[in-house]
Amino acid sequence: MWNALADESAGQIASAVFIAVLAFILGTFRRTIVRRIRTRETRRYWSSFRARGVAIVLGAFSSEDLLSQRLDRPVDPAGVDNFEPYGFVGFGEVLAIFALLEHLKILGLEDIVVAHAEQVSSFQSRNLVIVGGPDPNSLTELTMRHLQLPVRFEDLGSRTRMHITFSHNSADASAAEEKAYDPMFLPGKPGQLGQDYGFVAQVSSPFSEDCRAVLLVGVYGAAISAAARLVTSGHGVSRMSKVNDGRCLAVFRTYVGRNGAVSSPTIERIQPLREPRESEQNG
């Protein structure tokens, strides 16, 4: 009798263990499938970044020799010297890095480094994610100049304005339209941002024609963190990927609450990009 009860109890335990293991496997499988569905668009957007690894780059370039190099060839990093190794990094950049690292690892991109712009040897052969505007990160300015991006920033003393030139017809320069984007500060709250602007651009790396680069740029730090949210959201990358296979410049705005919370970015306009070498070949 006791043996029968023991056998029955052992069978029930084994059955319960089997059901628990099966439920765990099915739950894990379901979560994996759901995650892949949710990240389908971002997985496609970042697919070209898998082959050579990714470097998230912050810091400052200060060499005028680099900024004045020819535009028809990759930048030669040999002239980079005398850099302060740990430059200023704002809170917006920090939030952007956390968002990027978390999402890229979800996508299975494990070969990721975070580098200062002066550490050229650590990222010149990698795909790049360049975080920050041209003021805190001169690599942004270098890339904008080298690839002739239609963007400029205007220092107005107490604030900064972003200008972007949109070309309706690449064969007719007179058809270009320049639009100014002015961040808004809260009334009666000096220095407290209420609305910020920025852009995301996917281009060739200025160091290697075989690598890609994504610029996450904001007039202020709020838009920098919002730019990272844009390239890690399915809706954002889906819209950008439909324009020139993602090789485009997407201008967005974001709102900042009185408590400092940054809203999800809203794309205002997307401009397809033709890079200098491509323009010369087609010309």
pLDDT in tens, 158-194: 789 999 999 865 555 557 899 999 999 988 877 789 9
pLDDT at 126: 95
pLDDT at 187: 85
The answer to whether the beta carbons of residues 240 and 246 sit under 8 Å apart is yes
Has residue 66 got a pLDDT over 90? no
**Residue among 114, 32, 111, 119 at smallest CA distance from 80:** 119
CA distance linking residue 191 with residue 158, whole number of Å: 9
Has residue 4 got a pLDDT over 50? yes
Under the banding of pLDDT at 50, 70 and 90, the label for residue 211 is: very high
What length does the chain have? 283
Percent of the residues in the chain that have a pLDDT greater than 90, as a whole number: 49
Has residue 103 got a pLDDT over 60? yes
* Max Cα-Cα span within the chain: 97
**Residue among 85, 86, 76 at smallest CA distance from 124:** 76
pLDDT at 169: 59
**CA-CA-CA-CA torsion sign (220, 167, 272, 139):** negative
Under the banding of pLDDT at 50, 70 and 90, the label for residue 90 is: confident
Q: What integer is the mean pLDDT of 209-214?
A: 93
- The pTM score is 0.78
Has residue 237 got a pLDDT over 80? yes
Q: Work out the burial of residue 71: count CB atoms within 10 Å of its CB; fewer than 13 is exposed, 13-18 middle, 19 or more buried.
A: middle
Under the banding of pLDDT at 50, 70 and 90, the label for residue 197 is: very high
pLDDT at 190: 72
Q: What integer is the mean pLDDT of 21-29?
A: 58
Has residue 83 got a pLDDT over 50? no
CA distance linking residue 117 with residue 123, whole number of Å: 9
